[in-house]
Amino acid sequence: MKELVVISGKGGTGKTTILASFAALAGRSVLADCDVDAPDLHLLLHPKIHAQAEFRAGQVAHIDEERCLQCGRCREVCRFGAITPEFSVEPLDCEGCGACRVVCPAEAIELRERVAGTWFRGQTKYGPMVYARLRPAEENSGKLVALVRKEARVQAERDGIELLLTDGPPGIGCPVIASLGNADLALVVTEPTPSGIHDLERVLTLCRHFRVPAMVCVNKFDLNPSLDRQVREYCARSQIAVTESIPFDESVTKAIQQGVPLVEFNHGPASQAVSAVWHQIMAKLVSK
């Protein structure tokens, strides 16, 4: 099985638009939405949910009022400012590290498991899909991403599907690292803006760090053709393959508003370019 992950560094460059179109072009694949903070792929692919489950991860300290001597040792050692002067725990601040429990002389502190999110398994017309939603303001998004990818692989093996398409989150932190590890190819989507390029360089460094081969795609390239050329030159110097660029096209927003993959919405300039990118990606995946 081959896994393609679409990432970007900067948010809003078009990851989900591109991945949803790939799903339509692939015909049959397993889809994984690893942007567990703000999942959007289901808004274009409309999976019918077959199963859902709670995701438990991480812990939060709990102080037993009866046993607490109010000695203050826990407050002294907590490096996250999570224990109030009244000796209760502020869950948003608690790291779940248990340093407080180590020092409590009264054994008044226990660590309780958190419900950090929910994950879903469903069926789209392009194949099975796995996605998840982290509860607002929770931690452990990296672990939830790892769970989504694992479940997607299980699904692929069960259904004998050879292609896994993974929609990654923005940034370079733990959920991105969890989305990237061991993927066969990362498509890094950028835009010809100073932020797009700044973030591209950081995310390509991350790909090298985790030894995942990368390919770069410039979206909305005609907003600044000279930066588009600059990206191509940078990638040529770094020996990174670049796909055809995608033009700025207002029908992209309209396709999202209609809730359909761009390549099924029309055959406009952006739609045609996305199809061309798909063929380049497939050629690269097969050659590996």
Partner 1 sequence: MVIAVASGKGGTGKTTVAVGLAIVTGRAQLLDCDVEEPNAHLFLHPRLTERSPVTILVPEVDAERCTRCGLCAEACQFHAIAVMAKQVLVFPELCHGCGACALACAENAIREVPREVGAVESGKAGKTDFVHGRLNVGEPMATPVIRAVKAHLDGRPLAIIDAAPGTACPVVEAVKSSDFCLLVTEPTPFGLSDLGLAVEVMEKMAVPCGVVINRSGEGDEPTEAFCASRELPMLGRIRFDRRIAEAYAHGQHPVYALPELGRRFEEILERTLDCARGGRR
For 60, the token pair is 């939060």
* Amino acid symbol at 251: S
79 binds partner 1 (CB under 8 A): yes
Q: Provide φ and ψ at 117, rounded to 5°.
A: 175, -170
* Most distant CA atoms of the chain, gap in Å: 70
Among 199, 216, 235, 273, binds partner 1 (CB under 8 A): 199
Q: How far apart are CA 188 and CA 178, in angstroms?
A: 15
37 binds partner 1 (CB under 8 A): yes
For 148, the token pair is 């989504």
Residues 221 and 194 sit within 8 Å (Cβ to Cβ): no
161 binds partner 1 (CB under 8 A): no
Among 68, 71, 154, 177, binds partner 1 (CB under 8 A): 177
- Can you name the residues that pair with 132 across neighbouring β-strands? 119
122 binds partner 1 (CB under 8 A): no
Report residue 102 CA to chain centroid gap. Answer: 35
Among 172, 241, 282, 285, binds partner 1 (CB under 8 A): 172
Exposure letters 147-158 (e unless 16+ CB within 10 A, then b):
bbbebbbebbee
Minimum CB distance to partner 1, residue 110 (Å):
13
Token match 């638009």: residue? 17
Among 114, 212, 220, 243, binds partner 1 (CB under 8 A): 220
38 binds partner 1 (CB under 8 A): yes
139 binds partner 1 (CB under 8 A): yes
3-state secondary structure of 186: strand
Nearest to partner 1 of 234, 248 (CB atom): 248
170 binds partner 1 (CB under 8 A): yes
State the DSSP H helix or E strand holding residue 155, giving kind and residue range, or none if neither.
helix 141-159
Minimum CB distance to partner 1, residue 87 (Å):
18
Q: How far apart are CA 54 and CA 44, in angstroms?
A: 24
Minimum CB distance to partner 1, residue 183 (Å):
16
Nearest to partner 1 of 92, 283 (CB atom): 92
Among 122, 127, 175, 261, binds partner 1 (CB under 8 A): 175
Among 206, 235, 263, 277, binds partner 1 (CB under 8 A): 206
Contact set for partner 1, span 225-264 (CB under 8 A): 227, 248, 253, 256-257, 259
